């Protein structure tokens, strides 16, 4: 248990029939008239839905313990992604629903943050950007420049993104894992 005065960004609260909500933003407000209150922006840990919620100052809220560990993606086992804890070498099978869009950018050996609560995997979080190799893309034509447009390219994970026309098959690029956008070439 904590009070609304103890709220911090990233803290996970248990509200509304034991649903888990992560604090995205909070603001303590002391109006000229009336009691103080805390205005928050909360994100549902499982669905990603964001809501605004206001609490009276000093009200007790139930906090949830979320264990966040860096784990290495090992392999696919049917519909499950298998991650290995780098300290204990324990393997954890994670369902595709918990992995979400991160599955588009996961290759063997990548390190991801796996968040669990009471033994249940909540989500898998990748770094903001990852480096991947272009598996296949149409060849560019003479005269293609960086400002000339984009074309589809299939990454080594099988996911397709838009890249500039000058990118070729076999090149290593940096990709934003939150939006799937091309960020640039990687000099190797």
- The domain in which residue 95 lies consists of 67-125
Residue found by looking up tokens 């009471």 in the block: 118
Tally of domains in the chain: 3
CATH of the domain at 58: 2.30.30.30
pLDDT tens for 91-117 read 999 888 888 888 889 888 899 998 888
- Concatenating the DSSP letter of every residue in 39-89 gives EEEEEETTT--EEEEEEETT-EEEE---EEEEEEEEEEETTEEEEEETTT-
Asked if residue 40 lies in contact with residue 7, where contact means CB atoms within 8 angstroms, the answer is yes
The verdict on 29 and 51 lying in the same domain is yes
The verdict on 172 and 139 lying in the same domain is yes
pLDDT tens for 140-168 read 665 555 566 788 999 998 999 998 888 88
Query: In the listed set 63, 86, 112, which residue is the last one of a domain according to the structure?
Result: 63
Q: Is-above-0.85 flag for pTM?
A: no
> Could you tell me what percent of the chain has a pLDDT over 90?
21
- DSSP H/E element including 96: helix 96-99
């Amino acid at each position: 248990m904590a009070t609304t005065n103890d709220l911090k960004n990233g803290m996970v609260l248990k509200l509304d029939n034991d649903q888990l909500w992560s604090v995205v933003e909070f603001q303590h407000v002391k109006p000229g008239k009336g009691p103080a209150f805390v205005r928050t922006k909360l994100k549902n840990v499982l669905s990603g839905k964001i809501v605004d919620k206001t609490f009276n100052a000093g009200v007790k809220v139930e906090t949830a313990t979320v264990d966040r560990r860096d784990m290495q993606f090992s392999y696919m086992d049917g519909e499950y992604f298998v991650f290995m804890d780098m300290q204990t070498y324990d393997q954890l099978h994670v369902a595709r629903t918990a992995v979400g869009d991160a599955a588009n950018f996961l290759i063997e050996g990548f390190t991801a943050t796996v968040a669990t609560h009471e033994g249940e995997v909540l989500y898998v979080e990748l770094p903001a950007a990852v480096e991947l190799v272009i598996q296949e893309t149409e060849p560019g034509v003479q005269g293609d420049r960086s400002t000339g447009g984009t074309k589809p390219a299939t990454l080594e994970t099988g996911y397709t993104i838009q890249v500039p026309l000058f990118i070729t098959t076999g090149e290593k690029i940096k990709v934003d894992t939150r939006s799937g956008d091309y960020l640039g070439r990687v000099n190797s």
